[in-house]
């Protein structure tokens, strides 16, 4: 073999891998990044690199490289020394995806608020939680308010139970476990009672929280499926004494809202 041919052979063997091989590596990195983000979704307070590596089954050095790339895009951010959590960049993307449904529901949410005179909340599913994405504050002197962006458990709130009822019994069981893991301060008094309650919610489309999530506050909620196939929950939190006095009226108004919005979102 001539020296020129040898040099050509050496150059060919050391060249970059074919494009399909590079593509496979890229897909693998994307899959690993997705696994890391899904793990962080279930831990809103953040995890260490070691905890992430153990959860996704990757070397810590690999996780560190991927997390560094995600941090550069603001998809993850620091939540304390050596810990990271979901970043605002990813939350902004998620908000833009859900914006369409929120914009559609907003006028009807305001109408419902006018009808009941109480705070009305709009929330969506995120991991084992419901996250508030919109709110119409109540007009009463004493009202119940939660900040937009706040995360509530699925298993002991009206909006959370309404969302759970949108899933099959098997899927809702998995979500209950996620909710308990994300919100350890809120124990589950009776699993059987919750399962029976979800069956009732599937029939009546009404979910209740009678001071399960917070003393002095009760709530009623319902959920509809939007055109992306995602559950969207609306709830009305009220000081308990006033809630008990107006429970039937609140249920009637909320079901009327549900009928109006369900037809719009299903188009």
Q: Which domains does the chain have, with CATH numbers?
A: 3-86 (1.10.10.10), 98-265 (3.30.450.40)
Q: What is the Cα–Cα distance from 26 to 232, expressed in whole angstroms?
A: 34
Report the pLDDT value the prediction gives residue 100, as an integer from 0 to 100.
63
Report the pLDDT value the prediction gives residue 120, as an integer from 0 to 100.
95
Q: What is the mean pLDDT of each run of 10 residues along the chain (267 residues)?
A: 43 43 72 90 82 93 94 88 84 59 84 94 92 88 76 96 95 95 93 96 97 94 86 95 95 95 76
In contact, 178 and 127? CB cutoff 8 Å: yes
Report the pLDDT value the prediction gives residue 160, as an integer from 0 to 100.
97
In contact, 84 and 71? CB cutoff 8 Å: yes
Report the pLDDT value the prediction gives residue 144, as an integer from 0 to 100.
74
Report the pLDDT value the prediction gives residue 80, as an integer from 0 to 100.
80
DSSP state of 166: T
The model's pTM: 0.65
Which residue, 8, 7, 14, 227, is CA-closest to 103?
A: 227
Report the pLDDT value the prediction gives residue 32, as an integer from 0 to 100.
92
For 23-36, b/e burial (b = at least 16 CB within 10 A) is: eeeeeeeeebbebb
């Amino acid at each position: 073999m001539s020296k020129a041919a040898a040099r050509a052979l050496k150059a060919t063997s050391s060249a970059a891998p074919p494009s399909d091989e590079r593509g496979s590596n890229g897909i693998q990195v994307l899959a690993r990044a997705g696994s890391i983000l899904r793990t962080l979704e279930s831990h809103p307070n953040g995890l260490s690199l070691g905890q992430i590596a153990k959860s996704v089954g990757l070397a810590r050095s690999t996780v560190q490289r991927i997390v560094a790339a995600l941090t550069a895009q603001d998809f993850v951010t620091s939540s304390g020394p050596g810990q990271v959590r979901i970043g605002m960049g990813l939350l902004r993307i998620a908000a833009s995806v859900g914006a369409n449904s929120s914009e559609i529901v907003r006028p009807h949410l305001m109408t419902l608020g006018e009808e009941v005179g109480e705070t009305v909340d709009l929330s969506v599913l995120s991991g084992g939680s419901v996250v508030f994405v919109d709110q119409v504050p109540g007009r009463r002197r004493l009202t119940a308010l939660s900040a937009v962006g706040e995360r509530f458990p699925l298993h002991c709130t009206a909006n959370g139970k309404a969302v759970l009822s949108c899933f099959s019994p098997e899927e809702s069981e998995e979500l209950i476990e996620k909710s308990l893991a994300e919100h350890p301060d809120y124990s589950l008094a009776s699993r059987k009672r919750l399962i029976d309650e979800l069956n009732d919610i599937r029939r009546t489309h009404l979910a209740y929280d009678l001071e399960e999530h917070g003393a002095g506050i009760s709530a009623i909620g319902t959920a509809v499926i939007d055109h992306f196939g995602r559950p969207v929950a609306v709830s009305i939190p009220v000081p308990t004494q006033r809630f008990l006095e107006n429970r039937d009226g609140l249920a009637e108004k909320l079901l009327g809202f549900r009928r109006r919005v369900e037809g719009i979102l299903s188009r």
